Amino acid sequence: MRKLLFLVILAASLWGGYWFIGASAKNIALTEWFKTQTARGWTAQYDTLNVRGFPNRFDTTITDYLLENPFARWGLQGEALKIAALSYKPNHVIISFQGEQTLSTPQLVARLNARTLRASVVVEPSVDLSLERVRLEAANMEIQGGTGWEAAFDFAYLAFEKVTDSPLDYRFGLSLSAFNPGIRWQGTPPDLPRLIQSIAIDSTTTYDAPWDRLSFETRPPRARHISLQSFALQWGELGLTAQGEVDVLADGTLDGEISLRIENVRLAITALRAAGVLEPNLAGGTIAALTQLAARGNTLTLPLRFNNRRTRLGPINLGPAPQINRR
């Protein structure tokens, strides 16, 4: 009995020592990481950084933080974030964002408020910390843009993971429900409900480099090819589905073709007009022709083409082709 008690006390002491050493190392590593990024030119600040969670977890809480990456031109600022990891599995972390967060990119600045916003991140246990997968959940999210734009949704689930045996291919999935896009209609609004019932995306993207610690600290990998396995949107009586392949040119311009199926074409045309998507000088005859094509069943399948730096939906010129990877 004494031997058993001794072994239990010894094991507990060793585990306690391991946890305290690990917690101290984690605290030091994160503190040094903030200092290193600041030296590299980042803005990397926080108010407090604490590690708790004995005996089985490393729970790190960082308050009033600000991260701005000048190389990738993104920033994130928030009231607090909590990074939780099991002490015996440190390469898998759960990140919970608490309070208001502000996300900034070259395209937008948005304030995010959600009842729940958390991510599960798994990396390879190596020096590069290559990303294996990310799962993100958000519930009751409200988004406020810097220009007064507002949007909201009830629930979103996002998945991003490395494709097995293909180091530069990553699969992306998104499921969004009860989404209020905050569109400011021009003129008479279309006969659509306030909320988009659902949006779902499944795609695979080939990048020019893997997603790892280096890409996070410097510039993110650039997309080179996007395979859209499926896209589905249901908004009242308006339904959209799509699939196709596009290349991404050196300057980030899309080039390729997506097959788009539209249910309730007349409603879609009204919505495009009211949202200001169609060019003002678009000939009315083109819209009339599309409406006639769908007159029998009001359902139409059209190619969405990105070619010669222009976007065309069938015969309709929608303007310049979109750009990603913009710097």
Give me the sign of the Cα torsion angle 236, 242, 248, 251.
negative
Q: Would you say residue 63 lies in a domain? A: yes
Does the residue 48 lie in any domain? yes
CB 97 within 8 A of CB 121: no
For 166, the domain range is 2-320
Between 163 and 22, residue with greater pLDDT? 163
Would you say residue 209 has pLDDT above 90? Answer: yes
Identify whether 326 is part of a domain: no
The pLDDT of 176-190, averaged and rounded, is: 83
Q: Tell me the pLDDT of the chain averaged across its residues.
A: 83
Rounded mean pLDDT, 162-176: 94
- 232-242 pLDDT, tens digit each: 999 999 999 99
**DSSP codes, 246-302:** EEE-TTSBEEEEEEEEEESHHHHHHHHHHHT-S-TT--HHHHHHHHHHTTTTSEEEE
What was the pLDDT predicted at 326? 59
**CA distances (Å), 179 to each of 34, 55, 238, in order?**
36, 41, 14
Beta-carbon-side half-sphere exposure of residue 167 (alpha carbons within 13 Å) = 6
Which helix (H) or strand (E) covers residue 73, if one does?
none
Alpha carbons 222 and 206: distance in angstroms, whole number: 9
Domain count, the chain: 1
With b for 16 or more beta-carbon neighbours within 10 A and e for fewer, the 127-146 pattern comes to eebbbbebbbebeebebbee
Q: Looking at the domain assignment, is residue 283 inside a domain?
A: yes
pLDDT value at residue 299: 84
Task: Give a yes or no: residue 76 inside a domain.
Answer: yes
* Strands 299-307, 310-313: pairing kind: antiparallel
Is the predicted pLDDT of residue 25 greater than 50, yes or no?
no
Closest CA to 305 of 289, 325, 321: 321
Q: How far apart are the C-alpha atoms of 265 and 179, rounded to whole Å?
A: 21
Does residue 327 fall inside a structural domain? Answer: no
DSSP state of 214: H
Greater model confidence, 145 or 100: 100
pLDDT value of position 294: 62
CA atoms of 184 and 150, how far apart (whole Å): 10
pLDDT at residue 56, as a whole number: 56
Give a yes or no: residue 177 inside a domain: yes
> Does residue 106 have a pLDDT over 50?
yes
Q: Given a cut of 90, is residue 164 above it in pLDDT?
A: no
Do the Cβ atoms of 152 and 111 come closer than 8 Å?
no
Q: For residue 8, give the amino acid letter.
A: V
Determine which of 3-12, 109-118, 231-240, 255-264 has the lowest per-residue pLDDT on average: 3-12
Domain presence at residue 325: no
Q: Is residue 228 pLDDT above 50, yes or no?
A: yes
